[in-house]
Amino acid sequence: MKKLLVILAVFSVCIALTSGPAFGSTYTKGMKYGIFDILGIHADHTYHCAHDWWHGTDCWSWTGGQSGGSYISYTYGYGDYGDAKCTSANWGCRYIYAVQGVCHQEANRGLYTSGKNISRGNVGGYWLTGVVFGTYGEWSSWTVCKTACWLW
């Protein structure tokens, strides 16, 4: 009987570690690094990362660099690893750069399931790209991306 109870206890801990927001869940965050300062205008490249118990930490950006950055304030939250990856890896989420969005909108797409975005994080250039392209990029490309990644 004691062996059965120990096995059940171990099994319960394993289940707890792989589900729910407290243990083993996916956490997403936005990252940035400066790309230029011209005439007093500072611009940052952004990308998003996700961490879970199974995969460790991975970062994505099909628009360019996805390492060497610093954490963007207010972007850390509980999200979904697969969805965060899909928004950069799925061809249905690609868009025409600087026409339908830029790296800022791609990072926001990766953070979507956490309910966070980079708007509050002091990201250079977002004051312009957020107004021009919106939070997630041009609406039709974002609709296609949400459909491709089952984000509805």
Task: Give per-residue pLDDT as tens, 65-108.
Answer: 899 999 999 999 999 999 999 999 999 999 999 999 999 999 99
- Cα 29 to Cα 37, 94, 99, 109: the distances in Å are 24, 20, 25, 11
How many angstroms separate the CA atoms of 107 and 4, rounded? 47
Domain span at residue 98?
26-148
3 has a pLDDT exceeding 80: no
Secondary structure (3-state) at 105: helix
128's enclosing H/E stretch is: helix 126-133
Kindly state whether residue 88 falls inside one of the protein's structural domains: yes
How many angstroms separate the CA atoms of 102 and 64, rounded? 10
Tokens linked to 97: 């750069």
Q: What is the mean pLDDT of residues 9-19?
A: 45
What pLDDT does residue 18 have? Answer: 43
Tokens linked to 93: 């989420």
Count the Cβ atoms, other than its own, within 10 Å of residue 50: 25
Kindly state whether residue 31 falls inside one of the protein's structural domains: yes
Kindly state whether residue 92 falls inside one of the protein's structural domains: yes
**pLDDT tens track for 26-45:** 999 999 999 989 888 899 99
Kindly state whether residue 15 falls inside one of the protein's structural domains: no
How many angstroms separate the CA atoms of 97 and 55, rounded? 29
Kindly state whether residue 2 falls inside one of the protein's structural domains: no
Kindly state whether residue 9 falls inside one of the protein's structural domains: no
Kindly state whether residue 10 falls inside one of the protein's structural domains: no
What's the gap between Cα 4 and its chain centre? 41
Q: What is the mean pLDDT of residues 41-52?
A: 95
Kindly state whether residue 135 falls inside one of the protein's structural domains: yes
Nearest to residue 89, comparing CAs of 75, 72, 106? Answer: 106
What pLDDT band is residue 13 in, cutting at 50, 70 and 90? very low
How many angstroms separate the CA atoms of 88 and 47, rounded? 9
What pLDDT does residue 56 have? Answer: 94
Tokens linked to 79: 């999200």
**pLDDT tens track for 118-146:** 999 999 999 999 999 999 999 999 999 99
Query: What is the pTM for the complete model shown?
Result: 0.83
In the chain, the number of structural domains is 1
